[in-house]
Amino acid sequence: MSSTLAQVHQLAQECRALALGLFQGLNDPHAELLAMVWGPRFDREHALGLWAGFSRRDPVQALPVLPAMLALADRFDGLSAPVQHRLRRFILKHQSLQVTTV
C-alpha cells in the first residue's frame, strides 16, 4: 500500500469511528464530512457544531469524541494537498456507493 493510500485509509478509519454518533440522525452524513474537509484546513467550527448537537443527544458518548475529532483535524491539516484531495475523492466515491445501494 502506498504512503498516500495508507494515510487516506487511516483517516477514513478514524472518520468511521467518529461518525457513529457525530452524524447520527443527519440526512446526508457524507455532505457533513465533506464540509469539514473541503478546504485546505479542517473546518473545526463546523465540526464543533456537529459535536454540540451530538453532545446534547448523548453527552456521555460525545465526551471522548471531541479530543478524537480535534486530533483528526490536526492530522488532516498536516496532510499534503494531494492526500487531502484523495481523501475527498474517497468520501465522494463512498457517497455514490451508498446512494446506488439504497
The model's pLDDT over 49-100, given as tens digits with 9 standing for 90+, comes to 999 999 998 899 888 889 989 998 999 999 999 989 998 998 888 777 765 5
CA gap 4, 87 in Å, rounded: 9
Q: What is the pLDDT of residue 74?
A: 94
What is the three-class DSSP state of 102? coil
Q: How many domains does the chain have?
A: 1
Q: What is the pLDDT of residue 41?
A: 96
- For 11-50, what is each residue's pLDDT tens digit? 777 777 777 778 888 888 888 889 999 999 999 999 999 9
Q: What is the pLDDT of residue 30?
A: 85
Q: What is the pLDDT of residue 21?
A: 78
CA gap 88, 81 in Å, rounded: 11
Domain hosting 9: range is 3-101
Q: What is the pLDDT of residue 51?
A: 93
- Long-range contact pairs involving 96-101 (C-beta distance under 8 Å, separation at least 24): 98/30
Q: What's this model's pTM, rounded to 2 decimal places?
A: 0.80
